[in-house]
Amino acid sequence: MPIPDSIILGSQSPRRLEILTHAGFSVQVISPNIDEVFPSEMSIYEVPEFLANLKMQEISNTITTDDKFIICADTVVIFNQQLIGKPTDDNQSFTFLKNMNGKQHDVITGVSIRYVGKQISFAAMAKVFFKKLSDEEIWHYIHTHQTLDKAGAYNIQEYCGIDRIEGEFENVMGLPIRRVLQEIQNW
């Protein structure tokens, strides 16, 4: 199937919008209105795909047409076998970044795609390795960048503490675009 020129993004993430726009799509944004709650017995590695599907369910119930691809996604940071969400304040941002400082963590993005009645979902993982930064460098980042709306308190494009990534850069941003494009082409 040829790649469509327009899609619906079921997310208010400016990073996902940027990724899709950069890939050449005309994007209509619809924000899902869900409580991001998941079963307590669920593996934390399954949470992003579960939440992406939950978002898709809500979005597809509000859209009357099914003639455009709809993409929903959710990204989580996992460190020491715990979900690291969005910080509530600067002190929590510092705690998150300090704890992950000089260490490795996983970033998993769950994606749900729907088009003409068919729906698929998947999860993509990347490993992110942080450099060792001083407390002053971490605080400087927190004071000069918005950290409260990002899982793990950092933006991969801006954080000076990135040593290396194993996996897709855009996945860490919030959407594994290569896999998304492959799935659409295989539709």
* Strand partners for 105: 128
How does 140-150 read in b/e, with b if 16+ C-beta sit within 10 Å?
Answer: ebbeeeebeeb
Residue 43, exposed/middle/buried by CB under 10 A (0-12, 13-18, 19+)?
exposed
* Strand partners for 115: 118
Alpha helix positions (H), the chain: 14-22, 47-62, 90-100, 135-144, 169-173, 177-185
Q: Which two tokens stand for residue 173?
A: 């941003």
Q: Which of 35, 66, 67, 74 is catalytic?
A: 74
Specify whether 66 is catalytic: no
The residues annotated as belonging to the active site are: 74
